[in-house]
Each structure stands twice: as structure tokens, then as C-alpha cells.
Amino acid sequence: MIRDDDSVGSVLARDAGIFMGFDAFDHDLHGGDLLALAPFVFGRGDARHSNGAELPGTLKWDYVQRYYFDHNATTPIAPEVYEALVSCLSQVYGNASSIHFFGQGAKRQLEAARRLVASLIHANPAEVVFTSGGTEADNIAVLGVVRATGHSSPHVITTAIEHPAVLGPCAQLGREGAAVTVLRVGASGVVNADDVRNALRPDTALVSIMHANNELGTVQPIADIARITREAGVPLHVDGVQALGKMPVDVEALGVDLYSMSGHKIYAPKGVGALYVRKGTRMAPISFGGHHERDRRPGTENVPCAGAFGAAAQLAAERLTEDANRQAVLRDRLENAILDRIPGTGINGARWSRVPNTSNIYFDGIDGEALVIALDLRGFAVSTGAACSSGALAPSHVLTAMGLSADRARASMRFSLGRGTTTEQVDALVEAIGASVNHLRRISAHA
């Protein structure tokens, strides 16, 4: 019933348990990947006043089951991680720089988290710097290393499929006088290590190449590239945001000098990340105001989120093989069903070199944003590419760098699976895609 004083917000809040099918007082993370956010379709309705009279033109709610296939954009916080976060928020409130009892308690929590994150990538904890996320980690690495050279026009090598968090600081260095070489990739979406070798110059100050691409999932030959950069004496930075927790990462075995990470891609909260910096790597600060994090990143450390990141790293290490194997099976099931049932489709990027949870598929004759909306109305969250670039009119820079036409790039969709993804969800998604694509193609044919 709608009372006299009801607003839409109050109705949603009061009746969330009814319309969403769960007890509103259950655990905050009830439902895992089932979003706890008003999954309703709004329309003209038959709501009634508390006296029984119909209220014409009011809102009604139709229940829509919602499933999440956009884990590369962000992951839901894991229950174990949530517990670690809440525990730290409520009990560890000191400043980790303070020398008294409360400060030292926070310091212990921070260092415990540092050890857990370091363990996930087989690093020395002293080489892990906490940041606000992957973007800040990339900026500290790229700008810090290059500016430390002191050269007025240093040379930087990167690729055309990097995340904007790397391409942005590289562009800034270009504005400051640096020469930036941007390597293209072929249809595989995998950079050729020999192209890196051929691009090296005596004044090359940094090579920055991502580990796994956020849109394609393709994995780059980092170990091969690291051998080349090590021989040349050039630092190698790797954006590992989309590889962490999805595949084994050993920074020592890979031979990298810097490795960026993000908490919210591995079921930790947003707002925390880390940067691995190999001992001896020269870096200039890019921000100022304190000596925190061994002078790499000034500012009071976010101890609760760092603790949650540590818990997520420990969980990722324990579940790495299980998660990877299960998600690879589901991803292949999704791809094979789409390719078998829907004409005019294909996989973007190499199927032989990618993380297990990611698939990028083109649907010829379809506008990708329209398909995102159509699937969202059916209860499925997917994306056309990087979340930070959503809303952009230009086609994906990753897909066009591979040689795709602008039309095919705009017709491409990214599906990224997670721990909560099930076979039933995948099969339901395939049905929804088929119906949505057929509908959109009919509309396009009659336009």
C-alpha cells in the first residue's frame, strides 16, 4: 500500500524486501552478484491509497531478476572482505604514523595487509606501496620513473591498447617534452615483443605495457618483454589491474620493475590499490606533503581499505585455480552458444592468450550501447568496454587499434564473469542476447 506521506524513495526503502525477494535485514551482501539496488521496471500503475482508492498515474514495480556480467569494471565486495573492512573501521581507528598505542595498532594492521598483497604477487612487502587505486598507481609509476631521469626530452614506449590510466600520463609527459612511442597491435590484441626491442632508443626512460587488457582479456608476453628491457637497462612498468586475482602473478619470475594493482577488481572496496616498486628503482615524487609509504605516496594511509585489500588478496590466492578453471568453462560456454546461435558474431582478440573470465564479441549490425540498454532492461549488466570511458561517442581505442572498423568496434560487447556467475545465468544471458539482437536488427532493417 502507498500511504499519504509516501514518496518513491520511502516506498523503495520500506518495501525493498518485498520487491527484491529478500529480507532487508539480511547480511549486507545478501545475494552476492545479485544487485541489492531496486531492480524494477517503472510504468503507469494501479497503486492504491491506504483507503483502497486507486491512484491513477502512479508508479508500479515489476520484478526483474538482475545478473552481473561486468566484473572487469568492478567486483562486488566479498563477504570475508566486508567483515575485515568493518572490523578495521570499528576497531582500528588510529593514524598509522602515530607512535602511541592506537597508532601502532593501525600500523600493524597496515603492514599485515601489505604482506598479504605482496604474497599474492610474490614480492617483498617493503616493495609494495598502497595507493588510492590502479589509476594512481599507474600515474606514480609512469610519471615518477620518467621524471626521475631529469632529461628534458626522455623517451617512453607504450601500446595503443593501454588503459587511459597509462595513456593519460604518457600524454602528459609528451606535453612536457617527452617523446612517446605508441606500439600498435594486430588482430590478436597481443603486442609483439620484438616491436618493443625495435622501439628502444638510448634515451628510453620507461616501457609501460599492461599485463591483461581490460576490454579483451588478452595477456601480453610480459616475461619476454622484461628480458628485452632488462638487457637494455630500461625500467618496465606493467599495469596488472586486470590480471591480478585472475592468473598467477610472480613479479620476480616476470622480471618487472613496477606493477600496478587495484582492490575493487578482486572483491575489495573501491578507493584502494597498490604499486609494486622493485628495490633500487629510481622514482621522483609526483605529489608532496609527507613521507608516507617510503616517500612514494604522501598522505595518511587508508588502513581499513588496505586491510580489506589484504583480505581480498589472501582470498584470491586461495581461490585462484578454482575460480580460473570454473570461469573459463563458463566463458567458453557463453561464447560457443552465441557463435552457434547468433549469426554475424565473432570473438575479438586472441582466444589462446587471455584471462579466463573475459570475452569480447562483436554483433554486426548492432549498436553496442543500444544492446547494453536492451540487456539491462532484461536484467543483465554488460558493457561495451572500459567503465571509465562509458558515454564516449568514439569507438573503443583498443578495438580500433587492432584494426577493427569503427562500426564493428561500436558493435562489440564485453562480458566479464565473476565468482558468483553460474551456468544458469550464462544460459539466461544467451537467451536474452539472442532476443535483444533479433529485435535491434529488425528495428535497424526498418529504419
What residues are annotated to the active site?
388
Residue 399's identity, in one-letter code, is L
By CB atoms closer than 10 A (0-12, 13-18, 19+), residue 199 is middle
Contact 405, 364 (CB under 8 A): no
CB-CB contact of 315 with 267 (8 Å): yes
Give the containing element (helix H, strand E) for 377. helix 368-377
**Pseudo-torsion of CA 278, 282, 288, 292, nearest 10°?**
30
Other beta carbons within 10 Å of 122: 14
Nearest Cα neighbor of 380 from 427, 345, 341 is 427
Torsion region of 152: left, alpha or beta (phi above 0 gives left; psi -120 to 50 gives alpha): alpha
d(CA 369, CA 39): 20
Angle value at C-alpha 100, between 95 and 105, nearest 5 degrees = 60
Q: CB 150: neighbour CB atoms within 10 A?
A: 10
